[in-house]
Amino acid sequence: MKKIYSLLLLVLVFASCQAQEKKPQLVSSEAFESKIESGKVQLIDVRTPKEFKQGHLKNAKNIHLYDQDFGTQIDKLDKKETVYVYCKAGGRSAEAVEIMQNHGFENIVELEGGTDSWTESGKTLEQ
């Protein structure tokens, strides 16, 4: 009987730890725009520098996902503050979100569909 209670307690502890884990938010371009409009946010573009120069969201910082120092660069950000991340279509930003979670970031908001969805919704990119 003690083993059953011990097992049950272990399951409850594990479940409560899982519930506390914060999930990144995947949001539409409209919701993303409303969250970043103040300009005083950590806004990260994980595309290549060439893609970034062709057009990016206003006030974004380019930290290329596949640079060798990506981990070092994101570690310079405030991990307790919300980080907003995007790429072209959503694949690289999803990968970046996973890396950021492994680096201890607590609040991450990802632009669903990347800059493709941003421009499709009629919004422009900065040059």
Q: What is the pLDDT of residues 72-83, one digit of tens each?
A: 999 999 999 999
Contact 62, 68 (CB under 8 A): no
Cα angle 23-51-83, degrees, rounded to a multiple of 5: 25
Q: Which residues pair with 43 in a beta bridge?
A: 84
For residue range 16-50, what is the model confidence (pLDDT) as tens digits? Answer: 544 445 678 999 999 999 999 888 899 999 999 99
Domains of the chain: 22-120 (3.40.250.10)
pLDDT of residue 20: 45
Least confident of 8-12, 100-104, 116-120: 8-12
Matching residue, tokens 């640079």? 67
